[in-house]
Amino acid sequence: MNVKLIAFPGAPNLPIFAGLEHGFFEDAGLALEIETTPSSKLQIERLVAGKYDIAATAFDNVVAYREGQGAVEFPTAPDLFVFMGATRIELSLVVAPDIREFSDLRGKPLALDALATGFAFVLYHMLEQAGLGLEDCELVPVGATPQRWEAVRDGVAAGTLTIEPFTSVARAQGFHVLQSSRECLANYQGGIFTAGRAWAEAHETELAAFMRGYLDGLAWTLDPANYDAATALLLERMPAIKPQVAPAVMAKLLDPATGLTPSGAIDEEGMRAVLELRSRYAEPHKTLEHVDRYVDLSIYADLNEARTDSKRPDRS
């Protein structure tokens, strides 16, 4: 069985790297191909076109395209749904060294993935709480986190939202964090796994195999006995991470409040926070309230129940 996955580049891909490195996907009967995306727009376009089967993306992106509020217009709304959680991610507003407070951002360009998807609304919320309107800054769509960080590093933008490892990389180079999402949002569902419902119904065996491989990779990653091996694997797969920042990256990644979600669970309160922000900022305006509209955990629940009495994989 073959499955193609498209994901954003970032430390949260470590369980996938572990699943590939240690044969967990192969043990589940799956040949997994993973590619990274330069933007959420391209990711969803390619997923909906059938070039990929599964996406590791932000929960907000699923809602955006289901509700016709995404950066790409489709003739009919994509039948995307969340089948497993991934992260309660921490988003950090990384800014240039000369930016000391929010008022310093007035009139400055801020780099985003896209203006209506991804984590843009978290940034809007931060600005609003600090007394700035969206008209006070120049909002520039540039793509995924690597491209956004490069825009700030190169002086093209004054700030952007980052995830690990890019937050720690930025700090190590003299940039600083003006605010993190944890300071303004108690709960926020970050990363999830999604697929089209038609594909999932026709490929339930492949979907279940992917989930088994991922959950085994996740268990291996979260096992304290594998910390050194997991760190080495992350450095191997993401050479942009320098050894001196690896401990900070791993600390955020292994903390369930800022990184990987144990057992691939979802955070319903965090999902409701996503819906509240989208209800406030998205166009066309809609009041979004029902998490169940975007989620189907039936296969995940069956797998998780079956795994309850089984021990974690022991491979180092």
Q: How confident is the model at residue 116 (pLDDT cuts 50, 70, 90)?
A: confident
- Whether 313 maps to a domain, the answer reads no
My answer on whether 290 and 215 are in the same domain is yes
pLDDT in tens, 137-186: 999 999 889 999 999 999 999 999 998 899 999 999 999 999 999 999 98
My answer on whether 176 and 274 are in the same domain is no
Predicted local confidence at residue 308, as pLDDT: 66
Predicted local confidence at residue 311, as pLDDT: 55
The mean per-residue pLDDT over the stretch 6-19 comes to 97
My answer on whether 100 and 247 are in the same domain is no
- Whether 239 maps to a domain, the answer reads yes
Predicted local confidence at residue 306, as pLDDT: 76
Q: What is the CATH number of the domain that holds 269?
A: 3.40.190.10
pLDDT in tens, 39-97: 899 999 999 999 999 999 999 999 999 999 988 889 998 999 999 999 988 899 999 99
The mean per-residue pLDDT over the stretch 258-276 comes to 94
Residue 213, both tokens:
């491989």
My answer on whether 197 and 287 are in the same domain is yes
Residue 157, both tokens:
């933008």
The mean per-residue pLDDT over the stretch 32-44 comes to 94
Per-residue pLDDT for 316 more than 60?
no
Per-residue pLDDT for 315 more than 60?
no
Alpha helices in 174-244 (DSSP H): 181-184, 197-202, 204-222, 227-237
Q: Which range of residues forms the domain containing residue 107?
A: 92-184
My answer on whether 222 and 300 are in the same domain is yes
My answer on whether 45 and 103 are in the same domain is no
- Whether 312 maps to a domain, the answer reads no
Number of structural domains (the chain) is 2
My answer on whether 195 and 270 are in the same domain is yes
Predicted local confidence at residue 71, as pLDDT: 85
My answer on whether 207 and 290 are in the same domain is yes
My answer on whether 104 and 234 are in the same domain is no
My answer on whether 226 and 166 are in the same domain is no
Which residue carries 């790409």 as its tokens? 72
- Whether 316 maps to a domain, the answer reads no
Domain final residue, candidates 163, 184, 205: 184
Domain final residue, candidates 160, 184, 208: 184
Pair 70, 113: CB distance under 8 Å? no
Average pLDDT, the chain: 93
Chain centroid to Cα 79, Å, comes to: 20
Per-residue pLDDT for 225 more than 90?
yes
My answer on whether 203 and 296 are in the same domain is yes
Predicted local confidence at residue 310, as pLDDT: 60
SS3 state at 131 = coil
Give DSSP secondary structure letters for 136-168. GSEEEE--SHHHHHHHHHTTS-SEEEE-TTHHH
